[in-house]
Amino acid sequence: SPIDFPRLIVRQDIETPINASLPNVTILATGGTIASKGSTNTQTTGYSIGLGVQDLIEAVPEILNISNIAGYQVSNVGSGSINETISLALAHIISKELAKDEVSGVVITHGTDTLEETAFFMNLAINSSKPVVCVGAMRPSTALSADGPLNLYQAVTLAISPNAKGRGAMITLNDRIGSAFYTTKNNANSIDTFYSMEAGQLGFFINQVPFFFYEPAVPIGHTSFDLTNVNDLAQVDILYAHQDMDPGLVNASIAGGADGLVIAGVGAGGTSSKFAVAMEEAYNATGIPIVSSHRSADGFVPGDEGDFTIASGFYNPQKARILLQLALSTGMGYDDIKGIFAKSYPSPSA
C-alpha cells in the first residue's frame, strides 16, 4: 500500500495566514547539513542534525512574503542514509502535491552528499511540468556564513518561477541552478560543489531572481517511470574498480541479493581481465544486468564493452544505479534496459 506520511505542518501552524494572492509551495525535509547544528559558530565539521522542517522555514521568514508554505518531515537523516522507503515516499508525496492545481512547485531539503541521486530519482519518477527543486547546504545552520537560508530562499523562488517549468528536477546551491540529469557533487567540503562539467548549468540567481541560459529542454535519453504502484525497489550495488580488483566481489554482491550491478570502472568502464571474466560468468549464469560506468569524475562509457555489460553512456555510477533500479523495479526486461542506457549517448556509428 502507498506509504502515507503525516503532513506535519499546515500553513496556519507557521502563523502566517494563507494569502490567496501568493503561490503555494510544499517543502519536504529529509535532513542533511541544512538541518544541522554545531556547538559553535566556527564548527563546520562533526555537527549533528537538529532542525525540523518548521525550524528551516522559520529561519527564512522571507519565504512567507513570496509564497504560502506547507511542509512535510519525510525523514531527518544524513543523506548517506536515504533509502528506498524515503525515496519512494518523496516520489509519492510529490506526485500528489503537484497534481493539486493550487501547488506551484515543491522543494526537497536534503544532505548534499547524495542530493544528486534523489534529484535524479525525482527527475525519472515525477511526471509533471511543475518545478521539483532539490536544495541543501554545505555549512550547518549555526555556522558563520551558513549557506542554508539563502539556498532555501532561492529554492522557493525557483519553485514558484514560471520560467522553471518543464525543466525536470533541478538542484540549486550557491547561486547555481543545475539539471538533475547531469549535476553532480564535485567537492566533499567546498560550498562551490555542485556543477556539471560538460553539459553546464541551466541558470543562475541574480539578486535572488532565477535567470535561465536556455529555454526549457529535456535531456537526450530521458526516461520516465510510473512508480504509482511501486513500493519496493530492486537492489543494485555499485562496485568500485581499481588495480587488481577482486573478482569475488561479483558473486558476493549477487549472493547479498543484488538484482543488478553497476561497475565504477577505470577509464571508460574498464576492469581487470579476471574481473571481466567473473562478470561474464555471472551474466551467463544469472542474466542480471551489469552496467559499466566510470570512476572518473566525468566522461562517458561507449557501448563496446561486450555482450555481458551494458554501457552507462554519460550516467555516472550513482545515477546509473538509480536508473537501473527504477527499470528493474518497474519490470523492464534486459533489452529494454539496454535501450534506455543506449538512447542517452551517440551510437558508435553516428
Beta bridge partners of 185: 194
Q: Shortest Cβ contact with ligand ASN: which residue? A: 111
Residue 149: CB minimum distance to ligand ASN, A: 14
Task: Give the one residue of 71, 105, 111, 203 binding ligand ASN; rule: CB under 6 A.
Answer: 111
Question: Is 112 a residue that touches ligand ASN (CB under 6 A)?
Answer: yes
- Exposure string of 194-209, with b = 16+ CB inside 10 Å and e = fewer, is bbbeebebbbebeeee
Residue 319: CB minimum distance to ligand ASN, A: 16
Looking at the Cβ atoms of 97 and 113, the one nearer to ligand ASN is: 113
Residues 51-80 that bind ligand ASN (CB under 6 A): 78-79
How many residues sit in the footprint of ligand ASN (CB under 6 A)? 9
Residue 8: CB minimum distance to ligand ASN, A: 20
| Intra-chain end-to-end CA distance of the chain, in Å | 45
Catalytic residue selected from 26, 30, 33, 142? 33
How many angstroms separate the CA atoms of 318 and 306, rounded? 22
Scanning 107-115, 123-131, 230-238, 248-256 for contacts with ligand ASN by CB under 6 A, the matching segment is 107-115
How many angstroms separate the CA atoms of 164 and 203, rounded? 10
Name the pairing type of β-strands 169-173 and 176-179: antiparallel
Residue 167: CB minimum distance to ligand ASN, A: 23
Q: Per-residue x/- marks for ligand ASN, 257-276, CB under 6 A? A: --------------------
Looking at the Cβ atoms of 144 and 285, the one nearer to ligand ASN is: 144
Whether 33 is catalytic is yes
* Beta carbons within 8 Å of 236's beta carbon, 6+ residues apart: 258, 259, 260, 261, 262, 321, 324, 325, 328
Cell of 145: 556564513
Looking at the Cβ atoms of 184 and 344, the one nearer to ligand ASN is: 184
Looking at the Cβ atoms of 113 and 175, the one nearer to ligand ASN is: 113
Scanning 9-17, 108-116, 151-159, 334-342 for contacts with ligand ASN by CB under 6 A, the matching segment is 108-116
* Beta carbons within 8 Å of 64's beta carbon, 6+ residues apart: 14, 16, 57
How many angstroms separate the CA atoms of 135 and 115, rounded? 8
How many angstroms separate the CA atoms of 199 and 183, rounded? 9
Question: Is 312 a residue that touches ligand ASN (CB under 6 A)?
Answer: no
Spatial contact of 117 and 318, defined as CB atoms under 8 Å apart:
yes
Residues 75-94 that bind ligand ASN (CB under 6 A): 78-79
Task: Give the one residue of 26, 33, 141, 179 binding ligand ASN; rule: CB under 6 A.
Answer: 33
Of 291, 328, 298, 335, residue with least CA distance to 312: 291
Spatial contact of 195 and 186, defined as CB atoms under 8 Å apart:
yes
Q: Per-residue x/- marks for ligand ASN, 120-149, CB under 6 A? A: ----------------x-x-----------
How many angstroms separate the CA atoms of 97 and 27, rounded? 10
Looking at the Cβ atoms of 33 and 292, the one nearer to ligand ASN is: 33
How many angstroms separate the CA atoms of 200 and 213, rounded? 10
Scanning 105-113, 158-166, 310-318, 323-331 for contacts with ligand ASN by CB under 6 A, the matching segment is 105-113
Question: Is 113 a residue that touches ligand ASN (CB under 6 A)?
Answer: yes
Cell of 2: 502507498
* Site for ligand ASN, rule CB under 6 A: 32-33, 78-79, 111-113, 136, 138
Active site residues per annotation: 33
